[in-house]
Amino acid sequence: MSILTNFLKAKLNDDLFNVCGFLLKFLNIKHANLYLKLLLTDHLNASSLLAVQDTLVEYGIKSGQLEKTEHHYHNE
């Protein structure tokens, strides 16, 4: 892997860590930063939304799905 690829992957992991950490703090869920980082970086699909979902499930936050439908905007 190139230096740039390594840098971008590390940056993405930091961003995922920051988002998960913010959400856990916002929801007043106790967590250890080291364990949170471990869950995200050691995940089979690290740097993915699946890693985020599985990490949040580990802390008791369930996930859901949204169905995209067609929207029509009319100017009246």
Contacting residues for 27 by C-beta, under 8 A, at least 6 apart: 61
Number of C-alpha atoms within 13 angstroms, CB side, residue 63?
12
Domain count, the chain: 1
In a domain, 65, yes or no: no
In a domain, 38, yes or no: yes
Per-residue pLDDT tens, the chain, 76 aa: give them: 576 566 556 665 688 899 999 999 999 999 999 999 999 989 999 888 899 999 999 999 998 887 888 877 776 5
Entry pTM: 0.69
* Domain range for 49: 3-58
In a domain, 52, yes or no: yes
